[in-house]
Amino acid sequence: MKSRSSSPAFFCTHSQKKYKDDTMRFSRMLLPTLKETPSDADVVSQKLMMRAGMIRKVAAGIYNLLPMGLRAVRKVEGIVREEMNRAGAQEVMMPMVVPSELWKESGRWDEYGRELLRLKDRHDRDFCLGPTHEEVITDMVRREVRSYRELPLNLYQIQTKFRDEIRPRFGLMRGREFVMKDAYSFHATDESADKEYQNMYETYTRIFERCSLEFRAVEAETGAIGGRFSHEFMVLAETGEDAIAACDKCSYAANVERAEVRAPETAPGAPSDKKIEKVMTPNKRTIEEVSAYLKIKPSGLIKTLIYETDKGTVAALVRGDFDLNEMKLNRAIDASWVKLADEARVKEVTGAPVGFAGPVGLKVRIVADLSVRSMKDAATGANEVDAHILNVNPGRDFTPEYADIRNAVEGDGCPRCRGTLTIKRGIEVGHVFKLGTKYSKAMSANFLDEEGKERPIIMGCYGIGIGRTAAASIEQNHDDFGIIWPKPLSPFDCEVVPVNVKDAGTTAAAEAIYAELKDAGLDVLLDDRDERAGVKFKDADLIGIPLRITIGERNLKEGLVELKERKGGAMRLVKKEEAVAEAVKFVRG
């Protein structure tokens, strides 16, 4: 093998520097900024990433990362990698193309659905593109680990995933192909797994703090990956796809799908003496229609939904102004699935078409939300076409089981304290799960414990959407002019802008400062294009590098250059000789 030092490519730092040099000149860089917003972009991060020349779409939910985009993604990766390593995890790389056998072994080949992109090789064997890697890593570990002495283990990769999303959208925020950091931990004991869960929770907190993101860790549903409990890390942003409920007094925060609602404490009032009364409501089916027609507020109506479940047919009741939560219903009746009944079945159960169901006289199991318990003289469907009934009272006219089966809303009571829940929107950038033995059992990933007894390995898994994190940062940090990168994620540390490159003095000063900044170890973008000042300034604002050093004839005459911060817009003039030191101070500070 050829010795390393004989190769100039490895040895000569000068040639590397020169190469780097060229990529940092705006005039040489593939950095196609756009004045106009592409018509198919609909969230601000996607618009700005397109306009700032970071990404270009290749197909629905599939993107090219241009140099500027890749630099930002690499910054996120760098932080994630450092913190994962510091937390004791080891980096590996698994294949993107995975043989079907592994997925069949875990059972997910049939369970996962059409989001799993399947393909065949030339021998007609089945493969899939990995949307997540529990199977592969479990296979990897079961082949190598025999003893409790080799545990615990935390292995991670930063790799491209493919999920054939029904509806990709929002650029890098919900692509089909996307870069993800996924980590998997393996343990001999529950305590060890819990400890690692906590370790990852803290690591994630450090990662997102280092990314300068405003986020909350919230309790979450475990979803299709399975497992016992989990937290999502949510970046707070208007455009977030998830709604989260957070307490204004304590640290309680949960995905609204999951958020518990404190039971109302209103004491049951005097029983009503009003008799049930039937009213005709021709063709009024929805809560809105009935509410408007009968001039009763939605909160005075009881919504009755008929569900098919593996525990039989169930009528689920919520107050008219609330939404039923299917997952809560599922848990409340301890079902393995629930499904809204179709029209024919509703007619069978209630004797009326959809829109006129009510609890009174129903022969099926009735589960009512806690909000129904205190309702008095409510209106419901009459189980008869074009009719509703008034003055319905739970306990008197029907006797349901009570449970928390609705979505939390703004103003609900916190389940943990006396505080009030507020609803915010969030972008899920990270997720930590405790998996348990779901995969190790299915795939026989076992180890021998101290007593020589074979036991399934206990697992955890921990994901971070890398591109999504970069996009989330833009959602949270931008203004009308463009991106405002926080220093840790910025593609460059600073940008040098010579106002007029045709002026020899300006160019010389800019080149000198540029060279010095690079020698100081900064990533510097030099806008050496022969463009008008306005064009360069607009692009600088759009690209959003934290510090801009502007060099122009006017100030140069006084021996001065200008430093401008992208965030906040603070601008100051410094002596030319001090510019580099000031810039370094700002970047490192």
Which residues form the interface with RNA (CB under 7 A)? 33-40, 42, 51, 57, 59-61, 115, 132, 163, 165-170, 174, 178, 180, 221, 223-225, 241, 326, 428, 431, 463, 465, 468, 481, 499-500, 502, 532-535, 537-542, 550-555, 562, 564
Q: How far is the CB of 417 from RNA (least distance, A)?
A: 28
- Tell me, letter by letter, the H, E, C secondary structure of 441-497: HHCCCEEECCCCCEEECEEEEEEEEHHHHHHHHHHHCEECCEECCCHHHCCCCEEEE
Helix ranges restricted to H, 52-129: 67-86, 100-106, 108-111
Q: Which is nearer to RNA, 168 or 381 (CB)?
A: 168
Enumerate residues 6+ apart whose C-beta is below 8 A from 193: 152, 185, 187, 434, 436, 458, 459, 460
Q: How far is the CB of 418 from RNA (least distance, A)?
A: 31
Residue with tokens 């979505």: 407
Q: Which is nearer to RNA, 428 or 493 (CB)?
A: 428
> How far, in Å, CA of 435 to CA of 197, rounded?
10
Q: How far is the CB of 29 from RNA (least distance, A)?
A: 14
Q: Which is nearer to RNA, 392 or 471 (CB)?
A: 471
> How far, in Å, CA of 453 to CA of 445, rounded?
13
Q: How far is the CB of 429 from RNA (least distance, A)?
A: 7
Q: Which is nearer to RNA, 216 or 468 (CB)?
A: 468
Q: Which amino acid is at 246?
A: A
Contact 572, 560 (CB under 8 A): no
Q: Which is nearer to RNA, 60 or 280 (CB)?
A: 60
Q: How far is the CB of 266 from RNA (least distance, A)?
A: 31
Q: How far is the CB of 166 from RNA (least distance, A)?
A: 4
Strand partners for 534: none
Q: Which is nearer to RNA, 38 or 521 (CB)?
A: 38
CA-based max dimension of the chain: 99
Contact 379, 290 (CB under 8 A): yes
DSSP letter at 406?
Answer: B
- Which of 367, 406, 410, 418 is closest to 260 using CA atoms? 406
Q: How far is the CB of 4 from RNA (least distance, A)?
A: 40
Q: How far is the CB of 356 from RNA (least distance, A)?
A: 22
Strands (E), 15-164: 55-59, 62-65, 90-91, 97-99, 118-120, 126-129, 153-162
Q: What distances in angstroms separate CA 210 from CA 78, 82, 92, 207, 220, one per listed residue?
A: 11, 11, 23, 5, 23
Cis peptide before 264 (omega within 30 of 0): no
Q: How far is the CB of 163 from RNA (least distance, A)?
A: 7
Q: How far is the CB of 566 from RNA (least distance, A)?
A: 10
Q: Which is nearer to RNA, 179 or 390 (CB)?
A: 179
Strand pairing of 97-99 and 494-498?
Answer: unpaired
Q: Which is nearer to RNA, 145 or 580 (CB)?
A: 580
Q: What are phi and psi of 100, to 5 degrees?
A: -65, -25
Q: How far is the CB of 563 from RNA (least distance, A)?
A: 10
Q: Which is nearer to RNA, 359 or 465 (CB)?
A: 465
* Residue 437 CB neighbours (<10 A): 15
Q: Which is nearer to RNA, 119 or 533 (CB)?
A: 533
Q: Which is nearer to RNA, 125 or 532 (CB)?
A: 532
